[in-house]
Structure 1
Amino acid sequence: MPNKALRILIADEQHFHRMKTERLFNQLGYHRVAPVQSLVEMLTLVEYGCEPFDLVLINASLAGGALDLFGFFLDNRQVHHALIYDGRRAQLPPVSAAAGFPQKVQQRVQVSHAAQPDLASIQRLMALIDSPVCEAAPSPDHEWNRQRIG
């Protein structure tokens, strides 16, 4: 079951692409999707947002070389995960969870040469982002705290 609280941002200058991608997320049960049409809008929402975005999808051509998208998303605390698509235009090498990059890169930023994300690629991406979290092992004083409280 999808986590309906995930915040998703789609940045693409083509209205049809934004709408199509948003509908794919809606089909999968994700409805907190914000579409934007410019780099300035995307930067404004990311930088001045109260809470971080769980996922940002951006068409690489939107930056037009004005911003190193890969570096921006890799070190940005306001974005947990990013997919840069149409990366061939920005001359970015493809980066996916299967690539030989460090785990931090694989989990945070992916680059696709596809012109637009399709349902299968979004499903794979969301399987990584929206996977069930394993419970952490209790700390040694966990039992003591529970006994004391209740």
Structure 2
Amino acid sequence: MPNKALRILIADEQHFHRMKIERLFNQLGYYRVAPVEGLAPMLSLVEYGCEPFDLVVVNASLVCGELDVLGYFLDNRQVRHALIFDGQRAHLPPTLAGGPQRVQVSHAPLPDMTCIQRLMTMIDPPLSEGQYPWPSMLSAQTVG
């Protein structure tokens, strides 16, 4: 069961790309998605937001030459996880499988459902049997 409270930001200059990525998240049950078309709106939302984003998905071509995107996401407390796609355009090395990392880099021109599912499994792992998503449910279960 997806955590519906997760905040996701999508940054891409192509409207079609933003919509396609947002639909992938919607199909998985994530609806707190904010799509933006430029670097300035992305930076504003991240820097001046009242709470951190759980995931920022950004097209590398949007930030290419404008920002040290890896350093920005690694050092930013307002971003818990990031996916940079089309990373080859920005000459970024792809992320190798082998454990959770805060920043993932994909050379794919656009993330697909498999990429998004794999990413969300790391960010929002499925609950094991007997686990409850909210502490209040656990308290109610143990009291009753």
Place the TM-score, normalised by the shorter chain, in its bin: 0.7 to 0.9
User: With structure 1 as the length reference, what TM-score do the two structures score?
Assistant: 0.82
Determine which of 116, 122, 125 is the counterpart of 1:128.
122
Cα deviation for residue 132 of structure 1 reads: 4.7
1:86-109 CA-to-partner distances (Å, cap 9, x unmatched) read: 0000000001442xxxx6xx4200
Distance (Å, rounded) in 1 between the aligned partners of 2:127 and 2:81: 16
Which residue of structure 1 lines up, in the alignment, with residue 37 of structure 2? Answer: 37
Tell me if the contact between 1:85 and 1:115 (Cα under 8 Å) persists in the aligned partners. yes
1:47-94 CA-to-partner distances (Å, cap 9, x unmatched) read: 000000000000000013110101100111000000000000000000
Moved over 3 A (4+): 132-135
Equivalent residue letter for 2:18: R
Report whether the alignment pairs 1:20 with 2:31.
no
Equivalent residue letter for 2:103: V
Q: Over alpha carbons, which structure has the higher Rg?
A: 1
Distance (Å, rounded) in 2 between the aligned partners of 1:117 and 1:132: 21
1:8-45 CA-to-partner distances (Å, cap 9, x unmatched) read: 00000000000000000000000000000000000000
Distance (Å, rounded) in 2 between the aligned partners of 1:21 and 1:96: 22
Aligned length: 129
The share of aligned pairs that are identical, in percent, is 73
Q: Secondary structure at the match of 2:101?
A: helix
Q: Secondary structure at the match of 1:9?
A: strand
Which residue of structure 1 lines up, in the alignment, with residue 141 of structure 2? Answer: none
Q: Secondary structure at the match of 1:34?
A: strand
User: With structure 2 as the length reference, what TM-score do the two structures score?
Assistant: 0.85
Tell me if the contact between 1:96 and 1:112 (Cα under 8 Å) persists in the aligned partners. no
RMSD: 1.5
Runs of at least 5 residues in structure 2 that lack an aligned partner in the other structure: 132-144
Q: Secondary structure at the match of 1:107?
A: coil
Which residue of structure 2 lines up, in the alignment, with residue 141 of structure 1? Answer: none
